[in-house]
Chains A and B, each alone.
Chain A
Amino acid sequence: MSTRVLDPSRQHIVLRVAAALLGGYAFAWGFIALGTSALFAAGMPFHDAEFLSSMLGILAYLAVFLWVFAVPGLRRAGAVLVGAGAAMAGLASLLQHTLV
């Protein structure tokens, strides 16, 4: 096999798949972390909060995964997912800090 440089469209596909999988994962992680800590803070039993957030987080992952393939701007989509995921995870840690 030759070490041919990826043509733009192929490179674009690789980037989009990476954005969907990794960006989606970061988003889902943040979603689950924030959901667990917020529901727990609101008085829900810990494992209930953990289960409910994980279940909804998986559905959220599916939704953003499909969304990345449907939007035109790839860079923006990736930034939104990673940014929102990091923001939610940060909030979760902040909430945890006030609780523990």
Chain B
Amino acid sequence: MFANFRLAMAWLHTWFGLVLGFVLMVVFFFGALSVFDREIDRWGIPASRFEPQPMPSFDKVLKPVFESMQPTQESIDRMRPRVDGPMPERYDTVRRWGAYTTHRDPVLGVFAGYEVPNAKDPDEAIFASRTIDPRTGAALPDDRLKIGSRFFYPLHYSLNFHWLDLGYWIVGLAALVMLAALVSGVVMHRKIFREFFTFRPRKSTQRSALDLHNLTGVVALPFHFFFAFTGLVIFAGLYFPVTHTQLHPLHELHEQHEEQETGLPQDRAGVPAPLASVDAMVAEAQRRWASRGMAGEVGFLALQHVGDANGYVSIYRAGTDRIALTGEGIHFKASTGEVLHEDPPPTAVASVAEFLTGLHLQHFRHWLLRWLYVLGGLAGCVCIATGLVFFVEKRKRQHAKQGSSGARVADAMAVTTVTGMLVATLGMLIANRLLPENLPNRGDWEQYCFWGAWLLAMAHAFWRTAPVAEGRLAPAWREQCWAVAAMAVAAVLLNWLTTGDHLLRTLAAGYWPVAGVDLFMLVSAALAAYAARRLGRRVRGAADARAMVAEAARA
């Protein structure tokens, strides 16, 4: 198909980059925001603006919470088609109770999984979840959406498009294409080292866009490769469910071996049994960690087969000071509190796995590294956005001559995914502050506002890119930059008006989750206003040049 390898790679880079660049933009941007997902949660749920808490007492706080939980009507309805016969009134056979927390969580998320009688897949469980104030056990309202960790974060890896898991597959394809674009990009450009230092902002838009594309691509090349690759590795089980399909028998065999080795039962015994003090087990686990010279807090607490003689309690250490999310698991017999098994030190392969996934998901405490992640993610956004701009700039004059609308459509899509995405994000944060406090399904309304704002931005982008068809710059870019600047300032002001938490107060109190989100939005507003002014100057410059040419022609 192509004369040589370099041309093949250039074709691949251009066309796959264009088609999946729009998806990659979303993945990179919301990935960058997800680094501070819990901080965005605090901004969006003022009732949760307090200091992070350790895992609370199980016996006093968590047990009554777990015992009062039941799946929501929604998850029962979702489960219904996968069950033969009617759904039960109550779910009492608990397969698993779990609670996970990090050094950044003031509120605690807990979940419970229950056996479903007559489920078509007997291994499938139905889940219930709740968010509580760990100081009291009081539940947060169910319809309070955690914008950071439950909307922006899943948007990063699933586009929040769950039909047939299609969102995951699109993001997976985009990650593969990102890797291919990085390799093909390196092949296309021989002078990789020189591109490290080349940026000519005063040349034509086409030239400086390409410079910036190469610069941000090359400077952060290891970052981009690492994140696209580890993202695929994290979801490898979803993309290649080999051990749950073709090699399922082998998986079963392994689980039987594991049960024999660890003494942790896979199934219930069917004999009821009481629950010993879990707090005592936590104390014992912490004593054992301390004796290994790695005293720490509990990150993940899970109870398996609750109420059964085969029940056991697994306690994992929070990975606050290491790359692994959680580790050093110690497992106790639920009815007696005796230690059944201690996880052995990880094997070499398991250490690599912990390193790769832990470094992507970064739940450890290292604020400088977190900010580098954000910068890396935003560098990725700049790389993709300038790639799209370069695509348009290179073709728009030729397309204008041929009367083709290709460049215009590509530019409208670029506006939609670059500035339009910011409009949608800020629109959601503004809605979060403006919607009535007791509005039913408030979280759903916030999501409608997000998608609605994005649709409006898209309509505006298609309308105001008309000049591209004549080979000129689209006003949509400048206008949406002004919208972003105004909306970001509005969001900060609304936070002040509705909660009283203005920057002077949050900064004085050192409450960085909210101060940080506000400051980030103000910096974004300044950058957007600067970009809008520069774009305005460029349009006026081009108009003056055309007027001068016309003048000269008349003279």
What residues of chain A have their CB less than 8 Å away from a CB belonging to chain B? 12-13, 16, 21, 28-29, 32-33, 36-37, 40, 44-48, 50-52, 54-55, 57-59, 61-62, 65-66, 69-70, 72, 74, 89, 92-93, 96, 99-100
Contacts and interface: CB of A to CB of B under 8 A. Distances in A.
Nearest to A28: B240
B508 interface: no
B242 A33 contact: yes
* Residue in A37, A54, A89 whose Cβ sees the most chain B Cβ within 10 Å: A54
Given A47-B254, A58-B232, 5 more contacts: A28-B240, A40-B254, A55-B236, A69-B11, A70-B8
A70 B251 contact: no
Contacts of B350: 45, 47-48, 51
Given A33-B242, A99-B253, A12 B247 contact: no
A36 B242 contact: yes
Interface stretch (B175-183, B282-290, B329-337, B376-384): B175-183
B260 interface: no
B250 A65 contact: no
Nearest to B184: A66
A10 B253 CA distance: 48
10 contacts: A13-B1, A33-B246, A46-B251, A50-B243, A54-B233, A58-B229, A59-B229, A92-B246, A92-B247, A96-B249
A21 B5 CA distance: 19
Nearest to B179: A62
A58 B253 CA distance: 25
Nearest to A39: B349
B9 A36 contact: no
Given A16-B1, A54-B237, A70-B5, A62 B250 contact: no
Contacts of A51: 233, 236, 349-350, 352-353
B184 to A, nearest CB: 7
A97 B347 CA distance: 27
A61 B173 CA distance: 11
A55 B183 CA distance: 18
Contacts of A96: 247, 249-250
Secondary structure at the A interface, as helix, strand, loop or mixed, is helix
A52 B183 CA distance: 22
Contact of B347 (A12, A45, A54, A58): A45
Given A58-B232, A62-B176, A46 B1 contact: no
A62 B180 contact: yes
B359 to A, nearest CB: 14
Interface in B149-201: 173, 176, 179-180, 183-184
A44 B8 CA distance: 40
B12 interface: yes
B246 A93 contact: yes
A57 B233 CA distance: 10
Contacts of B246: 33, 89, 92-93
Interface in B1-39: 1-2, 5, 8-9, 11-12
A47 to B, nearest CB: 7
Q: How large is the interface on B (under 10, 10 to 19, 20 to 34, 35 or more residues)?
A: 35 or more
Nearest to A35: B242
Nearest to B16: A17
A92 B240 CA distance: 14
Nearest to A44: B349
Nearest to B350: A48
A15 B344 CA distance: 49
A89 B233 CA distance: 20
Nearest to B258: A46
- Pick the 4 closest A-B CB pairs, nearest first: A46-B254, A54-B236, A48-B349, A69-B8
B440 to A, nearest CB: 43
B411 to A, nearest CB: 21
A7 to B, nearest CB: 14
Contacts of B237: 54
A89 B350 CA distance: 24
A36 B179 contact: no
Contacts of A55: 233, 236, 352, 356
Given A54-B233, A58-B233, A99 B176 contact: no
B9 A69 contact: yes
B81 to A, nearest CB: 28
Contacts of B349: 44-45, 48, 51-52
Nearest to B172: A58
Contacts of B243: 36, 50
A40 B236 contact: no
Nearest to A15: B1
A78 to B, nearest CB: 13
Contacts of B232: 58
A58 B8 contact: no
Nearest to A58: B232
B80 to A, nearest CB: 32
Contacts of B12: 66, 69
A46 to B, nearest CB: 4
Nearest to B347: A48
Nearest to B233: A55
A11 B11 CA distance: 16
A55 B347 CA distance: 16
Interface in B207-238: 229, 232-233, 236-237
A45 B307 CA distance: 31
A40 B257 CA distance: 12
Contact of A100 (B2, B240, B250): B250
A57 B240 contact: yes
